[in-house]
Chains A and B, each alone.
Chain A
Amino acid sequence: MKRPLLQFFVLLSVFFLSCNGNGSGKNETDTASTKKENVTDIAVNPLKNCYFGDLHLHTAFSADANFFGATLFPEDAYKFAMGEEVEYLGQKVKRVAPLDFLAVTDHSEYLGAIVAVRDPKGPYAGTELNRQYTSTDQKDVAKSFGDFIKDMSANKPNPELNKPEVLRSAWQRVIDAANMYNKPGKFTALVGYEWTSAPNNENNHSQNLHRCVIFKGDKVPDLPFTSFDSQDPEMLWTYLENARKTGSDVLAVPHNANVSNGLMFDTKTLSGKPLTREYAERRMTNEPLTEMMQGKGQSETHPTISTNDEFANYELWEILLSSNERAKFKTGSYVRQAYGTGQELQEKLGANPFKYGLEGGTDYHSALSSSEENNYPGSHGTQDNLAVDYAKVLAAGESVGGEPPTKLSAAGLTGVWAESNTRDAIFDALKRKECFATSGPRIKVRMFAGWNYGAQLFKQDDWVKQAYAGGVPMGADLPAGTGKPRFIVQALKDPNSGNLDRIQIIKVTTKNGKSTEKIYDVVWSGDRKPDSKGKLPAVGNTVDVKSATYTNNIGSAELIGYWEDADFDPQSYATYYARVIEIPTPRWSTYLAAKHNLPPSKIVPTTIQERAWTSPIWYTPSK
């Protein structure tokens, strides 16, 4: 059933696009100027402000998004992120709270090629390919999409679609759009793309090793690196190292380890060699962050791996992309476990290849970073057009993406602690991992660690200043010290979302090749008392599923607390990260069902506890 339906949608989108020529905003590139950042008059806060954004978003320039009926371009993506209203599939859509930064990251494979091939005045005008791609005949549509899937699966480009001059022109428009919407002090637009490596497993299904590539400035290589060039991340790192030598600094962010079939955090290289110290150091220089949460689920942990984690069963995505095959995940697929694996390797190699900071993105294919649960219009074009297909989407048991469309999350975002909202300040914060991931809400979370913090320090007005002076923030290494590590954590709710349930610190320790994880509740709302086993009672649930409403009369607007690691062993490696949990609120699918007076989806939970995850602070024993 799904294929004729998809074809129908593709047909519609093809027709729509062919009517539109090259889409909106084309003429804007003429006026795009590369304005230089004038940072002298931008206020700088040495104690850092919190900025929210998305480092993972596709537009009609991505071939797959284009087939799904995306009609919006990078310019539209920036406008929407800045809080402007844009039109999506005939509906006016707008964020409640704007973002502070955005990187548009279209797939580099065939970047802009499908747009070009359809352009009646473009480089393919008059060719057979142009006829085929603009044809509304089912046969042509099916062939175009079929060929695309075949090329991607075989990782062999069709030379006709893979023309350097076409890619270069699309790449230039990506750069121009970012330059045009970058407003130092107000909004940061970063140049980027996605390298879409997905080597096949034995069943010819893709194992996700994708990475988003984010540049600090606009001095970037002539062409992006593609999986057609190589599927091996080590080759991508070579590209990044060369790019850094000749132009802007750059980093890569791996995502969807959850559907990597165990490859993302493997203990051998993609080419099958054992990991080395050099590999570990190269990996961390080139990719300091990983994506904890996005539309296709979280990669923190799986309930069968973290059996003692009552919050682990959250927004799981378990099917390999574009297949019906369950991903292997027992090792190499989840971040928390990788923190232990990394430390085990560090014991042997002297360097940790998985010392990842955390960020979150949407990975939407709509050009809209729409992470608000009660304001989610769908994210994959005509595949899940919620204004029209709400009943079908709520009921669907599958999709071309693998899991059913209801399982897509309205998530996530990256929070960054930076001195100001400029390309330099945001990028530097990402690089030093002073950033965190959220499942969509703008929860502001801080974490500091030191050896000498007082238990009452956080009650002083200038506690942040003192915390910086006497310790390190998230993303840093705890320098050598004596005693036990002490932590200060603070979380402020998203004023447009639910109150906060608790802040936890999650600790992964490693000694003599063995790793363990432990979760500590550090500060929580109300006067709840842990039971005899140390378990904190649940915060409660105010959600009325039928009307998709909740009240903030449970939970806290702000949580702040002090924690000392009483179990600290100076001889063990340790990774500490904080997790903030919101009170239960309706999931987007529940808001959608209520709006149309339909029963809620049975495929996904009706309520969720949204969350934020900080980048860790690491402790390394001195030898």
Chain B
Amino acid sequence: MKRFLSEPLLQFLILGGMLYVFVSFIHHQKEKQAKEIVVDGERVALLVSNYKTQTGILPSRDELNVMIDNYIKEEIFFREAKKMGLDKDDEIIRRRLSQKFDFVKSDLKQIDPPTDQQLRDFYKMHLSLFETEGSVNFSHIFFSTDHSTDKDARERAVLVLQKLVRTSLQRAPGEGDHFALQNDYTDQTALDIRANFGDKPIVDSLFKSKVNTWVGPVQSGYGWHLLYISKRNSNSKMSYDVGKDLIKEKYVEIARENENKKEFDVLSKNYIVRRTYLNKQ
């Protein structure tokens, strides 16, 4: 008997059997739980309070019974849907959970107020953030598309341009159509141009084309233009003293972004990412 019991095969079978009994017990318990829907007093109170918020009055007994039945139905559907794995590849559920997590994680970190020295260092390292916008002075000639086709308006502009490059004129609004706003502009930032002429090729042209010569034709939200840029003020730096509030704001913003990134890096270390799409077919 002793020898029999010390037989490794038998030991294996006994242990296996015990494990089977244990696992099925757990499984049974779990299944029992999964089949149970508890509608307790707390749940009913919540249903009542939701109803009251929505309507301002308490539900009648019949209405409450319907609400409880609906709750039970929703719970059953929810569990069945989960069993079928319907939650798995649902974009909206994925995104909602991920956002919920993001909300919970991010912005929790309190950023310590920076010292003056920290702020100065930050300012020196991020000078480009504190540039005030560049601006232009220019005169333009307008070619309207209201009474001619787009193509004709552009061609008229080309002809005028050919004539103007042989002159020393720096403004010649009379060579084009009447423009309802101004013919000459000073100190216009890109933001001003987007508001006054539209978010169109004219914005780029004013900030990139050659200065002190006629350029174009270039399109705005109104039609075609020839441009004579007489001056372009490049971006200028905001001094530390003037921009201190803004610098502090940017400091906190960037510090928070960095904290969030660090947090993510720590999290992502727990995962192994396999980019199988990069594998050769």
- Residues of chain A whose beta carbon lies under 8 Å from any beta carbon of chain B: 3-4, 7, 12, 15-16, 19-20, 28, 31, 83, 90, 96-98, 138-139, 142-143, 145-146, 149-150, 153, 204, 388, 391, 442, 444, 461, 490, 492-497, 525, 553, 556-558, 560
Knowing A90-B99, A139-B46, A139-B49 are in contact, say whether A28-B245 is a contact too (CB < 8 A). yes
* Segment touching A, from B75-83, B100-108, B164-172, B273-281: B100-108
List B contacts of A494 (CB < 8 A).
198, 221
Are B53's CB and A145's CB within 8 A?
yes
User: In whole angstroms, what is the CA distance A3 to B46 when docked?
Assistant: 12
Q: Closest residue of chain B to A146, judged by CB?
A: B53
Choice from B53, B103, B178, B223 contacting A12 with Cβ under 8 Å: B103
Choice from A3, A444, A461, A558 contacting B146 with Cβ under 8 Å: A558
Q: Which of B55-109 contact A (CB under 8 A)?
A: 56, 92, 95-96, 99-100, 102-104, 107-108
Are A146's CB and B150's CB within 8 A?
no
List B contacts of A556 (CB < 8 A).
146
User: In whole angstroms, what is the CA distance A98 to B190 when docked?
Assistant: 11
List B contacts of A153 (CB < 8 A).
56
User: In whole angstroms, what is the CA distance A560 to B92 when docked?
Assistant: 51
User: In whole angstroms, what is the CA distance A400 to B124 when docked?
Assistant: 49
User: In whole angstroms, what is the CA distance A455 to B151 when docked?
Assistant: 31
Are B50's CB and A388's CB within 8 A?
no
Top 7 closest pairs, chain A to chain B, by CB = A495-B221, A495-B198, A146-B53, A97-B195, A556-B146, A557-B222, A3-B54
Are A496's CB and B107's CB within 8 A?
no
Are A90's CB and B222's CB within 8 A?
no
Knowing A12-B100, A495-B222, A557-B144 are in contact, say whether A138-B46 is a contact too (CB < 8 A). yes
Q: Which of B27-54 contact A (CB under 8 A)?
A: 45-46, 49-50, 52-54
* Distance to closest chain A CB from B278 (angstroms): 27
Q: Closest residue of chain A to B244, judged by CB?
A: A31
Interface assignment of B199: CB less than 8 Å from any CB of chain A: yes
Interface assignment of B266: CB less than 8 Å from any CB of chain A: no
Interface assignment of B196: CB less than 8 Å from any CB of chain A: yes
List B contacts of A492 (CB < 8 A).
180-181, 222
Ordered by A's residue number, 9 sampled pairs between the chains whose C-beta atoms are within 8 Å are: A3-B54, A15-B104, A16-B103, A31-B245, A139-B45, A496-B221, A556-B146, A557-B223, A558-B180
Interface assignment of B220: CB less than 8 Å from any CB of chain A: yes
Are B108's CB and A388's CB within 8 A?
no
Q: Closest residue of chain B to A4, judged by CB?
A: B50
User: In whole angstroms, what is the CA distance A391 to B90 when docked?
Assistant: 13
- Which of A16, A490, A493, A495 has the most chain B CB within a 10 Å cutoff? A495
List B contacts of A444 (CB < 8 A).
180
User: In whole angstroms, what is the CA distance A204 to B57 when docked?
Assistant: 13
* Distance to closest chain A CB from B161 (angstroms): 21
Are A143's CB and B103's CB within 8 A?
no
Are A490's CB and B180's CB within 8 A?
yes
Q: Closest residue of chain A to B177, judged by CB?
A: A558
Q: A19-B103, A557-B221, A558-B146 are in contact. List 10 more A-B contacts (CB 8 A).
A: A12-B100, A15-B103, A19-B107, A90-B102, A139-B45, A142-B49, A388-B99, A496-B221, A525-B146, A553-B150
Are A557's CB and B145's CB within 8 A?
yes
Are B200's CB and A142's CB within 8 A?
no
List B contacts of A204 (CB < 8 A).
56
Are B150's CB and A142's CB within 8 A?
no
- Which of A12, A97, A391 has the most chain B CB within a 10 Å cutoff? A97
Choice from B191, B197, B222 contacting A83 with Cβ under 8 Å: B191
List A contacts of B92 (CB < 8 A).
391
List A contacts of B200 (CB < 8 A).
495
Interface assignment of B194: CB less than 8 Å from any CB of chain A: yes
User: In whole angstroms, what is the CA distance A28 to B222 when docked?
Assistant: 40
Q: Which of B90-132 contact A (CB under 8 A)?
A: 92, 95-96, 99-100, 102-104, 107-108
List A contacts of B49 (CB < 8 A).
139, 142-143, 146
User: In whole angstroms, what is the CA distance A444 to B108 when docked?
Assistant: 46
Are A149's CB and B56's CB within 8 A?
yes
Q: Closest residue of chain A to B144, judged by CB?
A: A557
List A contacts of B221 (CB < 8 A).
493-497, 557
Are A96's CB and B53's CB within 8 A?
no
- Which of A138, A142, A153, A560 has the most chain B CB within a 10 Å cutoff? A142
- Which of A16, A96, A204, A558 has the most chain B CB within a 10 Å cutoff? A558
User: In whole angstroms, what is the CA distance A525 to B180 when docked?
Assistant: 16
List B contacts of A12 (CB < 8 A).
100, 103
Q: Closest residue of chain B to A491, judged by CB?
A: B180
List A contacts of B145 (CB < 8 A).
557
Q: Closest residue of chain A to B195, judged by CB?
A: A97
User: In whole angstroms, what is the CA distance A83 to B196 when docked?
Assistant: 13
Q: Closest residue of chain B to A499, judged by CB?
A: B146
List A contacts of B195 (CB < 8 A).
97-98, 442
Are A3's CB and B53's CB within 8 A?
yes
User: In whole angstroms, what is the CA distance A20 to B256 when docked?
Assistant: 12
User: In whole angstroms, what is the CA distance A16 to B103 when docked?
Assistant: 7
* Distance to closest chain A CB from B125 (angstroms): 21
Are A558's CB and B144's CB within 8 A?
yes
List B contacts of A31 (CB < 8 A).
245
- Which of A139, A388, A497, A557 has the most chain B CB within a 10 Å cutoff? A557
Q: Closest residue of chain B to A144, judged by CB?
A: B53
Are B50's CB and A142's CB within 8 A?
yes
User: In whole angstroms, what is the CA distance A434 to B281 when docked?
Assistant: 70
Are B56's CB and A150's CB within 8 A?
yes
Q: Closest residue of chain B to A150, judged by CB?
A: B56
Knowing A90-B99, A142-B49, A556-B146 are in contact, say whether A495-B220 is a contact too (CB < 8 A). yes
User: In whole angstroms, what is the CA distance A20 to B107 when docked?
Assistant: 7
List A contacts of B198 (CB < 8 A).
494-496
List A contacts of B222 (CB < 8 A).
492-493, 495, 557-558
Knowing A3-B54, A142-B50 are in contact, say whether A557-B245 is a contact too (CB < 8 A). no
Are B50's CB and A7's CB within 8 A?
yes
Q: Closest residue of chain B to A553, judged by CB?
A: B150
Are A495's CB and B191's CB within 8 A?
no
Choice from B108, B191, B199, B245 contacting A496 with Cβ under 8 Å: B199
- Which of A19, A153, A444 has the most chain B CB within a 10 Å cutoff? A19
Contact with A along B195-224 (1 / 0, CB 8 A): 111111000000000000000000011110
User: In whole angstroms, what is the CA distance A502 to B200 when docked?
Assistant: 24
* Distance to closest chain B CB from A313 (angstroms): 28
User: In whole angstroms, what is the CA distance A96 to B197 when docked?
Assistant: 11
Choice from B46, B146, B194 contacting A96 with Cβ under 8 Å: B194
* Distance to closest chain B CB from A465 (angstroms): 15
Are B180's CB and A149's CB within 8 A?
no
Are B107's CB and A146's CB within 8 A?
no
* Distance to closest chain A CB from B40 (angstroms): 14
User: In whole angstroms, what is the CA distance A16 to B107 when docked?
Assistant: 9
Q: Closest residue of chain A to B181, judged by CB?
A: A492
User: In whole angstroms, what is the CA distance A117 to B187 when docked?
Assistant: 46
* Distance to closest chain A CB from B246 (angstroms): 10
Q: Closest residue of chain A to B192, judged by CB?
A: A98
Contact with A along B236-275 (1 / 0, CB 8 A): 0000000001000000000000000000000000000000
Q: Closest residue of chain B to A25, judged by CB?
A: B249
User: In whole angstroms, what is the CA distance A4 to B67 when docked?
Assistant: 13
* Distance to closest chain A CB from B74 (angstroms): 10
List B contacts of A19 (CB < 8 A).
103, 107-108
* Distance to closest chain B CB from A186 (angstroms): 10
User: In whole angstroms, what is the CA distance A180 to B96 when docked?
Assistant: 38
List A contacts of B50 (CB < 8 A).
3-4, 7, 142
Contact with A along B127-148 (1 / 0, CB 8 A): 0000000000000000011100
* Distance to closest chain A CB from B207 (angstroms): 16
User: In whole angstroms, what is the CA distance A4 to B46 when docked?
Assistant: 11
* Distance to closest chain A CB from B27 (angstroms): 32
* Distance to closest chain B CB from A5 (angstroms): 11
Q: Closest residue of chain B to A391, judged by CB?
A: B92
List A contacts of B46 (CB < 8 A).
138-139, 142
